[in-house]
């Protein structure tokens, strides 16, 4: 500083030791937080695989056991075990869903869908549970509700089912009314208003303020009578928030509850939804005798998946790790590979990359990922590794068959001169569809086996198929759509292989209606199945008593 003619200096010495310590501590805390976040993501992926994989096996084995011959007590025990396993899987999925939201890993889909159909089908999923308790379940769609929308239909269904399940769970008698309406926001968007009102036990005032918080239940005591994690409403709140909406409730203990939520959706046209539906709906089933390589290290899962596939007339070979999978595809001509992700010695992703480097047509072999990983981004990672598609555990039988069929159908077809081109599946959807007994199929069966054993095969089929028809009749009475779809598919596959073309066509139709969510139509169609089946079995039994000869077909050059 200048003081008249003299120049002076002022020095300031500041001790920043504490500041540096704080900065280092903050940096360390930040790094630890990031490491903890990464560890959490890794833990979620590992937990997802380690818990869902054995649960897949447990549910699958119980499902197979349920279809075997059991006495009443055994059937009750299997049914109880299956229901308990499904409840546990629901809890696991809730925890994983919430954890993904906490980690900002959950992303909404933006697809076209039929809103009216989604709401109706969702309510049908709740109807059986409601009818078992003697409850009246009604859905009202207001006239101002657009039919076609764009958004995340699966998450919207999840919200509605969660609220509907809660209403059913906590209502002993009376009714549940679900209402849906809309308010226009702009020319391209609208707000969906949904309400779920029940005549159940209600919620005490002291629990209402925290009801939408995680791990919170109104029934918190050790003697509580309803299972759950207390995450369902917290997940609904987060999903609604992601959809730019809100959720709330009004309730009085002993007088029922009234839940309501709003979400923002985009308007869509029938053409947009129709085009999307045309892309999404084709459900190609794999041809009989499709050769599949299953790479899976869990013995229980091996058994379940093998049984599912072989029950659909598919051939299955099993290996226990990625290295064995590579060796198998080198030496045998497979149509497709089902590749588990987490395996010892070599994982599924590494094995897929190795297969893609093999010479010739082997490198183009379709590969489907089989995994229990549940985190966002995993599917993209699997596809980037060269896999064609992705199936999540627990394995859904229909989804797996359709995925295999669609994936094989999309692969480049072999040259007509190749050996594969000369083998085609039995076709029961041509001019013989209306036949109770398709002679062409019998000729093929005779050619593939031997004339002397065909009658025995047919009678064994009839005996087994009658049991399937009984299961379908029981499913109709109980309105058990899961059993109806399963038995219809099994019966359809078996009927196709044993020449009952008309029965096959009807069973396939019922199965497809179940898969499309048209449950009432499926039940109506199924009502006519016993009479079609009896006539099919009668005619086939008569044919089994006649002579079978191999008809040599003229080979084409």
Q: What's the pLDDT tens digit per position in 299-318?
A: 666 776 787 788 778 888 89
CATH 3.30.565.10 domain range(s) in the chain: 111-219+227-280
- The pair of three-digit structure tokens given for residue 306, joined into one six-digit string: 């093998």
CA diameter of the chain: 132
Give yes or no for residue 505 having a pLDDT over 70. Answer: yes
CATH 3.40.50.2300 domain range(s) in the chain: 291-411
Q: Give dist(CA 373, CA 46) in Å, integer.
A: 8
Over residues 248-282, the pLDDT tens digits come to: 999 888 888 999 999 999 999 888 886 554 444 44
Could you give phi then psi for residue 151, rounded to 5 degrees?
175, -145
Level-2 CATH architecture, domain 24-102: Orthogonal Bundle (1.10)
Q: For 291-411, give the CATH class.
A: alpha beta
27 exposure class (CB count in 10 Å sphere: 0-12, 13-18, 19+): exposed
Q: Return the CATH number of the domain spanning residue range 111-219+227-280.
A: 3.30.565.10
Over residues 350-370, the pLDDT tens digits come to: 999 999 999 888 999 999 998
pLDDT given for residue 447 in this prediction: 61
**pLDDT, average across residues 515-525:** 86
CATH 1.20.120 domain range(s) in the chain: 439-544
**pLDDT, average across residues 383-412:** 79
**pLDDT, average across residues 237-257:** 89
Topology of the domain covering 439-544: 1.20.120
Contact partners, residue 314, CB within 8 Å, separation at least 6 = 286, 288, 289, 290, 291, 292, 404
Could you give phi then psi for residue 139, rounded to 5 degrees?
-120, 130
């Amino acid at each position: 500083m200048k003081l008249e003619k003299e120049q002076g200096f002022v020095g300031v010495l500041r001790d920043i030791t504490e500041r540096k310590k704080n900065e280092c501590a903050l940096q360390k805390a930040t790094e630890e937080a990031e490491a903890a976040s990464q560890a959490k993501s890794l833990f979620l992926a590992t937990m997802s695989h380690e818990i869902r994989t054995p649960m897949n096996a447990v549910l699958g084995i119980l499902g197979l056991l349920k279809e075997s011959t059991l006495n009443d007590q055994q059937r009750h025990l299997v049914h109880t075990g299956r229901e308990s396993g499904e409840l546990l899987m629901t809890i696991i999925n809730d925890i994983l869903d919430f954890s993904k939201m906490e980690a900002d890993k959950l992303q909404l889909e933006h697809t076209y869908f039929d809103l009216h159909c989604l709401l109706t089908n969702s309510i049908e999923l709740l109807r059986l549970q409601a009818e078992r308790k003697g409850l009246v379940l009604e859905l009202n769609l207001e006239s101002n509700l657009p039919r076609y929308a764009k958004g995340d239909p699966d998450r919207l269904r999840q919200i509605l089912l969660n609220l509907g399940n809660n209403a059913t769970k906590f209502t002993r008698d009376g009714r549940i009314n679900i209402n849906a309406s809309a308010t226009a926001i702009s020319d391209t968007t609208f707000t969906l208003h949904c309400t779920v009102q029940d005549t159940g036990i209600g919620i005490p005032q002291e629990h209402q303020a925290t009801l939408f918080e995680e791990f919170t239940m109104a029934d918190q005591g050790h003697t509580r009578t309803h299972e759950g994690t207390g995450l369902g409403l917290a997940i609904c709140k987060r999903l609604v928030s992601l959809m730019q909406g809100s959720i709330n409730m009004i309730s009085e203990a002993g007088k029922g509850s009234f839940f309501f939520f709003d979400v923002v959706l985009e308007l869509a046209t029938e053409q947009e939804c129709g085009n999307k539906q045309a892309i999404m709906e084709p459900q190609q089933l794999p041809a009989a005798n499709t050769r599949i390589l299953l790479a899976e290290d869990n013995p229980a899962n091996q058994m379940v998946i093998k049984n599912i596939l072989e029950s659909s007339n598919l051939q299955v070979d099993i290996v226990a790790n990625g290295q064995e999978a590579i060796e198998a595809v080198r030496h045998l001509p497979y149509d497709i590979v089902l590749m588990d992700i987490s395996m010892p010695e070599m994982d599924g992703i590494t094995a897929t990359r190795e297969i893609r480097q093999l010479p010739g047509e082997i490198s183009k072999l379709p590969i489907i990922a089989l995994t229990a990983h549940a985190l966002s981004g995993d599917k993209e990672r699997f596809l980037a590794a060269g896999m064609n598609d992705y199936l999540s555990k627990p394995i859904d039988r229909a989804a797996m068959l359709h995925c295999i069929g669609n994936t094989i159908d999309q692969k480049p077809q072999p040259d007509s001169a190749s050996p594969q081109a000369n083998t085609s599946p039995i076709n029961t959807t041509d001019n013989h569809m209306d036949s109770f007994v398709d002679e062409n199929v019998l000729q093929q069966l005779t050619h593939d086996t031997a004339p002397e054993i065909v009658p025995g095969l047919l009678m064994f089929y009839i005996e087994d198929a009658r049991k399937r028809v009984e299961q379908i009749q029981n499913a109709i009475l109980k309105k058990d759509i899961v059993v109806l779809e399963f038995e219809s598919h099994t019966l359809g596959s078996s009927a196709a292989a044993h020449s009952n073309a008309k029965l096959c066509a009807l069973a396939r139709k019922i199965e497809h209606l179940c898969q499309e969510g048209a449950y009432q139509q499926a039940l109506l169609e199924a009502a006519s199945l016993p009479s079609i089946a009896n006539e099919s079995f009668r005619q086939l039994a008569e044919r089994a008593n006649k002579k079978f000869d191999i008809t040599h077909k003229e080979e084409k050059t």
